[in-house]
Amino acid sequence: MRVNERDGQIEVVKPGTLTTVQDLGRYGYQQYGVPVSGAADSIALRVANLLVGNPESAAGLELTLTGPILRFAADSLICLTGGTVGATLDGNPIDMYKSIIAQAGSTLRVGPIVRGCRAYLAVHGGVDVPHIMGSCSTYLKGKIGGFQGRALSAGDRLAIGSGRNGGETHAKVLKQMANRRLHPSRIPDYPMKKQVHVILGPHIDAFTEESAKRFWAESYAVTTQADRMGLRCHGEPLSHKSGADVISGAVPVGAVQIPADGQPIILLCDRQPTGGYTRIGTVITADLPLVAQARPQDMLHFQPASLQEAHRRLAESERWLRQLRLACLAGRRECL
């Protein structure tokens, strides 16, 4: 999106634990070693964008564990989704999964995320940063994309995209789209104990029969070694028949790698394009947001899933998002 003089700015007063600009990812460059990146919980970002009238792929802010304090220089339509977090606008509590107008000069304070790990802030018009290899997403390890290739810091100023309009027209557009909310029954929950569905991986035969059974029977705790690249888990270790290393190959998001210590690693959006550890399975796409919202000490219990079930669950999710998109386009205040 192109910035002009009328476009408002978001000033970062306090950045929070880790706040980055993310869209839906950078595709087509993994052969060069560049990860996809993008929102770890892509559903939460897509919903936030729909509620403020953006394309689902618009760039927003991903907030991790503790949110930022932001000041708006111009009237803006915003929406918070994802992990449960308390937030106030000029001291007044605001609801999640609801579009609201932040008036010029107002301050948004987002506190600790108390359930889940990541929240998302969308603003009408999108966060305007340069497109690098077709995406606005931040890849922190490579210092690529987003705002100067890094997490936000106090004093940063973010432009809002040219989807905004000036003067009375802009005010009218914001008013028309304000107070859209997701129906309470559709707001996701992120319990500390999560059931995660996994399709068997290409190296299932590399594990002893006892270990293969243990993977489904045991629960694994998310450790503090968890970031946008992946989650290290801890539980009863799995045993390989003849070592954990295999010939390096492409690894998808959600791949469950088992290195020599026998503890699962679930790869997320900033994962490396290839890997040389055995893969016992892959988390189905529909459960990736649940995994992305896992925080240290959360417990994951893996359940086997068929490819047909994975396709069915993904189709259901996309069907609901299409219905939400249509409800927003129709101007409905309470959306599905």
Cβ pair 123, 68 in contact under 8 A: no
Q: What are phi and psi of 113, to 5 degrees?
A: -80, 115
- pLDDT category, 43, cuts 50, 70, 90? very high
pLDDT attached to residue 38: 98
Q: Identify the three-state secondary structure at position 320.
A: helix
31-40, 96-105, 161-170, 276-285, range with the lowest pLDDT: 161-170
At residue 318 the predicted structure's pLDDT band, cuts being 50, 70 and 90, is very high
Q: Does 243 score more than 50 pLDDT?
A: yes
pLDDT band of 4, cuts 50, 70, 90: very low
How would residue 3 be classed by pLDDT, with cut points 50, 70 and 90? very low
Q: Which of 255, 272, 261 is nearest to 203 (CA)?
A: 255
Residue 166 has pLDDT above 60, yes or no: no
| Model pLDDT for residues 79-104, shown as the tens digit of each residue | 999 999 999 999 999 999 999 999 99
Kindly indicate the confidence band of residue 2, based on its pLDDT and cuts at 50, 70 and 90.
very low
Give the pLDDT confidence score for residue 335 in this predicted structure: 73
The domain locations on the chain are 9-189+322-335, 193-305
Question: How far is Cα 87 from Cα 97, in angstroms, rounded to an integer?
Answer: 12
Is the pLDDT score of 15 beyond 70? Answer: yes
Rounded CA-CA distance 229/141 in Å is: 10
Q: b/e per residue, 54-91, with b = 16+ CB within 10 A? A: bebbbbbbbbbbbbbbbbbbbbbbbbbbbbbbebebee
Q: Which residue from 78, 59, 22, 45 is spatially nearest to 289, judged by alpha carbons?
A: 45
Spatial separation of the C-alpha atoms in residues 99 and 175, rounded to whole Å: 10
Cα angle: 218, vertex 224, 225; to 5 degrees: 90
- pLDDT tier, 173 (very low <50, low <70, confident <90, very high otherwise): confident
Measured in whole angstroms, the distance separating CA 178 from the mean position of its chain's CA atoms is 23
Collapsing DSSP to helix, strand or coil, 205 comes out as helix
Query: What integer is the mean pLDDT of 131-151?
Result: 97
Average pLDDT, the chain: 93
Write down the pLDDT at residue 5.
Answer: 40
The model's pLDDT over 176-212, given as tens digits with 9 standing for 90+, comes to 899 999 999 999 999 999 999 999 999 999 999 999 9
Q: What is the mean pLDDT of residues 91-118?
A: 97
What share of the chain in percent tops pLDDT 90? 90
pLDDT at 7: 57
Which among 120, 268, 253, 97 has a CA at the least distance from the CA of 182?
97
What pLDDT, on the 0 to 100 scale, is given for residue 295?
95
What is residue 83's predicted lDDT score, i.e. its pLDDT? Answer: 97
pLDDT band at 334 (very low <50, low <70, confident <90, very high): confident
For residues 6-34, average pLDDT: 92
Residues constituting the chain: 336
State the fold for domain 193-305.
Cyclophilin (2.40.100)
H-type alpha helices, 32-160: 42-51
Model-level pTM greater than 0.85? Answer: yes
Residues ≥6 apart with Cβ < 8 Å to 301: 193, 194, 195, 196, 218, 219, 220
Q: Between 65 and 336, name the one with better pLDDT.
A: 65
